[in-house]
Amino acid sequence: MFRAFENLVDPFAADRMDPPRASLRAYLMQQMAPYKKWLPLMFATGVLTALMESGLIFYSGRVVDLMAGTGAAAFWAAHGTEMLLALFCVLILRPALTGLNHLLLEQTLSSNLQEQVRWQAHRHLLGQSAAFFQNDFAGRLSNRVMQMGPAVQDSVHMLFEAILFAVTYMIGAVLVLSQIDWRLAVPLVLWVGLYILYVRHVALNVAATAEKWSDARSNATGRIVDAYGNIETVKLFARNQQEQVYALSALRRLRARYQRFLRMMTTLAFGSIAINGVLILIVVAPAIWLWMRGQVSVGEVAAASALTIRLNGMSGWILWVTIRLFENMGVIREGLRSLSAPHGITDAPGAPALLVGRAEVRIEGLTHHYGNARGGVSGIDLHIPAGQRVGIAGPSGAGKSTLINLLLRFRDPEGGRILIDGQDIRGVTQDSLRSQVGVVTQNTSLIHRSVRANILYGNPGASEAEMIAAAKRAEAHEFIMALRDQAGRTGYDAHVGERGVALSGGQRQRIAIARVVLKNAPVLILDEATSALDSAVEEEIQKTLMDVMQGKTVIAIAHRLSTIARMDRIVVLQDGRVAEDGSHQALLAGQGVYAGLWQRQAGTAERVLEPAG
């Protein structure tokens, strides 16, 4: 039975791809859309359950009057059938309604909504550009994703279980008191109006305070996770104390905002007690006065008193629920700052997949300055015929990395375009573009999974034999077979640690190369691909890479010019423009920028090799 209600909604349905709405109301409506078929039933069962609660209190007063009017001897004979119907309501109808309400709220709604929110938020963030993640803490983003789920689920659940129940109960109480005497209902209506104004005032203050508290919590989480994610740097530079101070300042701010929130809670408790005292005075006292005048019965006084006492206890609960509700609203608004941000890089509507045949790359008037007046690249024109191996050289800041980022469409150019086999890369899907490009970067980062999972990232459908063959071509198989992680997993099953920290830089690089070998993409980008390898291993890897390059269009960036000297052609960038273009020998003969870079590197190598004087 539970599973049937849990499966009424699929929280991970692939057809709900719309980005999160930016406004609070629109976002909540968007998240509730999958449940719209069941919301009326949730509403109806919630209302009936609340009305039955107030009805039971009213009926208990009637029972008192019936008992007093007929006496013990004649009671069952006169009212036995009515008592059996009441018993049916209490033992059968009431549990059935309450049970159905809980199944809908807890199994259908709550068990799905929390993970639905997290999944959709995570999926949206994965679609953001690389630049988006470079400008925020990974810890803060993950904290917002994780806390959004409980905030939305808790809010919606409370709206149905608490707020709807409370409002219906109050309406039911007013109706019951009206049936007894209208002069008892009027004070309750006035009190409810005063209570609503008080709760509204409180809730607005709570929402603002909770949003600041949530922001402080996300910031503190971001700083702490940042330290853990860069623990090697922290240790290498002996900056434990500095990181403690950095985190402590965020934790102090978090403490101050939480204390402000708790002060508000304490103040509210005093106000709630005072308002509840007023409720007892203005309803119970008139009921007793009316009884003394013979205008209401003892049972009706009992019913009015029970309703009031129940409402008295409920008012504190309602206040707490409302505070929690507005606290969650603050958390959701804070989370939406990141989670509803539109994607910076998007596919054109109806964009087709990139179709690569020859893998010819053409760059026309490419310009990108990151929104500034200078930096990046300026008006680059470059034609790379299919199958050609091109080295990209130049001093730091010349635009090499910018060119690669634009080619991978991590950013869109401010001017010009990039064509692959005549197709503008902005007109095709990003996934299809990147699936046709193999990349080995300078700073290799592996996922915290097994070696097998990391290599198969290049081609998840590859066989075990193909994966091992790729590892052997990258000179990685031998060291992989010797791996053993802390959990005792060995070889290809060993886990590499977060970002691959359990491996050396050279080992990470070789696994990354094996991953690209397995991907076998027609366009290959090498960004300092052998920078983390020692000379002996680098020579072996260079042989492998030269073999892998066969039949591919290759773009290789290198500061160490010896690694690109054997390329078909070398393009030299300077100040964001193409300064030189030609073969290694032709550029040396030209005595230009490349020749100067080559001579400086050769001179540096000679000085390093000179014996100490």
275 and 383, same domain (yes or no) = no
Distances (CA, A) of 246 to 169, 377, 421, 489, 519: 50, 36, 50, 36, 42
Provide the CA 97 distance to its chain's centre, in angstroms. Answer: 36
Residue at 409 is within a domain: yes
Q: Which residue has the higher pLDDT, 267 or 95?
A: 95
Confidence of residue 289 (pLDDT cuts 50, 70, 90): confident
Q: Which of 201, 210, 100 has its CA nearest to residue 154?
A: 210
Here the tokens at position 260 are 């402000």
Q: Are residues 396 and 502 in the same domain?
A: no
Note whether 374 and 479 are same-domain residues.
no
Q: Render pLDDT for 43-96 as a digit per residue (tens, 0 to 9).
A: 888 888 878 877 777 777 778 777 877 877 788 888 888 888 888 888 888 888
Number of neighbours of residue 584 by Cβ within 10 angstroms: 20
Q: Pull the structure tokens for residue 127.
A: 């679609």
Q: How confident is the model at residue 428 (pLDDT cuts 50, 70, 90)?
A: very high
More confident residue, 571 or 258: 571
DSSP letter, residue 578: E
pLDDT score recorded for residue 15: 66
Together in a domain, 509 and 549: no
* Domain shared by 276 and 419, yes or no: no
Residues in the chain: 613
List the CATH number of the domain containing 83.
1.20.1560.10
What percent of the chain shows pLDDT beyond 90? 18
Query: How do residues 341-382 score in pLDDT, each as one tens digit?
Result: 888 888 889 999 999 988 999 999 999 988 787 788 998 999
DSSP code string of 64-85: HHHHHHHHHHHHHHHHHHHHHH
- Where does the pLDDT of residue 604 fall: very low under 50, low under 70, confident under 90, or very high at 90 and above? very low
Buried residues in 109-147 as b, exposed as e (16+ CB within 10 A): bbbbbbebbbbbbbebbebbbeebeeebbebbbbbbbbb
Shared-domain flag, residues 52 and 157: yes
Q: Rounded CA gap, 581 and 391, in Å? A: 10
Q: Give the type of residue at 521.
A: A
Residue 15 lies in a domain: no
Q: Is residue 595 helix, strand or coil?
A: helix
Q: Write out pLDDT tens, residues 119-151.
A: 888 888 888 887 788 777 777 788 888 888 888
Domain assignment of residue 12, yes or no? no
Q: Are 395 and 432 in contact (CB under 8 A)?
A: no
In a domain, 346, yes or no: no
pLDDT at 331 over 60: yes
Give the model's confidence band at 18: pLDDT under 50 very low, under 70 low, under 90 confident, else very high.
Answer: confident
Answer whether 27's CB lies under 8 Å from 20's CB: yes
Contact predicate 505/538, CB 8 Å? no
Task: Annotate 10-47 with b (16+ C-beta within 10 A) or e (fewer).
Answer: ebeeeebeebbeeeeeebbebbeebbeebeeebeebbb
Domain end call among 316, 339, 362: 339
Please tell me whether residues 585 and 475 are part of one structural domain.
no
Q: What is the CATH number of the domain that holds 401?
A: 3.40.50.300
Greatest mean pLDDT among 25-34, 141-150, 416-425 lies in 416-425
Residue whose structure tokens are 């039911």: 172
Same domain, 430 and 450: no
Last residue of a domain, one of 471, 492, 516: 516
For residue 3, tell me if it sits in a domain.
Answer: no
Per-residue model confidence (pLDDT) at position 531: 63
Instruction: Find the domain containing 487 and state its range.
Output: 446-516
**Which of 97-101, 158-162, 390-394 shows the lowest per-residue confidence on average (mean pLDDT)?**
158-162
Q: Which residue has the higher pLDDT, 235 or 345?
A: 345
Q: What is the mean pLDDT of residues 513-524?
A: 90
Q: What is residue 612's predicted lDDT score, i.e. its pLDDT?
A: 40
DSSP-assigned letter for residue 558:
-
**In total, how many domains does the chain have?**
3
CB 170 within 8 A of CB 162: no
Give pLDDT, residue 610: 43
Mean pLDDT of the chain: 83
Can you give the pLDDT at residue 553? 93
- Contact between 11 and 108 (Cβ < 8 Å): no
Cα–Cα distance for residue pair 346/132, rounded to 1 Å:
13
Report strand pairing: 415-420 vs 423-424: antiparallel
Residue 481 has pLDDT above 90, yes or no: yes
- The pLDDT value given to residue 16: 63
Check residues 320 and 431 and name the one with the higher pLDDT.
431
**304 and 392 share a domain?**
no
Residues 295 and 199 in one domain: yes
CA distance 213 to 330: 9
How many whole angstroms separate alpha carbon 428 and alpha carbon 409?
Answer: 11
**Residue (of 511, 563, 539) closest to 389 by Cα position:** 563
- Do 456 and 529 lie in one domain? The reply is no
Rounded CA gap, 28 and 24, in Å?
A: 6
Asked if residue 335 has pLDDT above 90, the reply is no
Q: How far is CA 289 from CA 110, 282, 302, 411, in A?
A: 47, 11, 13, 78
Is residue 382 one of the residues assigned to a domain?
yes
DSSP structure class, residue 399: S
Return the amino acid letter for 213: W
> Per the domain annotation, does 344 fall within a domain?
no
Gap between the Cα atoms of 156 and 46, Å rounded: 13
135 and 192 part of one domain: yes
pTM above 0.85, yes or no: no
Q: How far is residue 287's CA from residue 303's CA, in Å, rounded to a whole number?
A: 10
Residue 348 resides in a domain: no
Tell me the two tokens of residue 307: 């309703």
Which of the listed residues 501, 516, 531 is the one where a domain comes to its end?
516
In this structure, the number of other CB atoms found within 10 A of the CB of residue 261 comes to: 18
Q: What is the chain's alpha carbon radius of gyration, rounded to the nearest angstrom?
A: 35
Residue 607 has pLDDT above 50, yes or no: no
The HSE-up count of residue 156 (CA atoms within 13 Å, CB side) is 31
